């Protein structure tokens, strides 16, 4: 699955399907505790709950920030497809 990797020589940062908890969808990076990894797009869409601020997305991550926090970076919101 090297096509899902940011750096094909490393398996540290991968493209993943997730559900993100966020009060506002303007952000493009999320701490690990706000991200729930899912097996596939259908599962992420099923687990989403906009009323509870949980949105399906594709992200890259996790990646360590300079502060040591593991972050996921937004690729796209699945609802916007």
Q: Please write the tens of the pLDDT for every residue from 43-67.
A: 999 999 999 999 999 999 999 888 9
Task: Please report the pLDDT score of residue 62 as a whole number.
Answer: 93
Residues in CB range of 11: below 8 A, 6 or more apart: 5
The yes-or-no verdict on residue 7 having pLDDT over 60 is no
Q: How far apart are CA 49 and CA 31, in angstroms?
A: 19
Helix (H, G, I), strand (E, B) or coil at 47: helix
pLDDT of residue 36 exceeding 70, the answer is yes
Please report the pLDDT score of residue 1 as a whole number. Answer: 35
In Å, how far from its chain's centre is CA 6? 14
Cα-based distances in Å from 1 to 5, 43, 66 = 7, 20, 27
User: Per-residue pLDDT for 3 more than 60?
Assistant: no
């Amino acid at each position: 699955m090297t096509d899902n990797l940011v750096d094909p020589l490393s398996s540290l940062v991968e493209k993943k399907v997730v559900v993100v908890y966020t009060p506002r969808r303007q952000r493009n990076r999320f701490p690990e505790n706000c991200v729930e990894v899912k097996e596939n797009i259908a599962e992420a869409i099923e687990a989403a709950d906009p009323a509870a601020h949980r949105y399906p997305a594709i992200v890259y991550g996790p990646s360590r920030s300079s502060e040591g926090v593991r972050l996921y970076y937004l690729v796209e919101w699945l609802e916007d497809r």
